[in-house]
Structure 1
Amino acid sequence: MTVVKDSAGRYFASFVVESGPEEVLPQTTPEIGIDLGHFAVLSDGTKIDSPRFLRRAEKR
């Protein structure tokens, strides 16, 4: 285990754990993921543009 104190006086601890062999996961139905780096890009490649509500409100 490693304990570190940062310049703000906070402590962080990190540790490594060994585990046994990985189990095989059961088959599942396909899922869709969303990447919000753009506004939204779905895992099937569909892009959704960002609504402009915030920018309109900032101008007011």
Structure 2
Amino acid sequence: MARDVVRPLVRMRSVAGTGVTYVTRKNRRNDPNRLVLRKYDPVVRRHVELREER
């Protein structure tokens, strides 16, 4: 049960506006702010920023 509190599932949405999402886990102790990652967006066929949505 404690695992879900420290490392919750977060949904990452593409800033390109294509609606592409990734699902990942993050450590709340190390990253208390919203997470931003560069991942591949297959709709625009290039790497873009994905931001955590709540």
Shared fold, TM over 0.5: no
Identify the structure with the greater strand proportion.
2
Q: TM-score, normalised by structure 2?
A: 0.25
**Relative contact order: is structure 1 or structure 2 higher (C-alpha 8 Å, sep ≥ 6)?**
2
Q: TM-score, normalised by structure 1?
A: 0.23
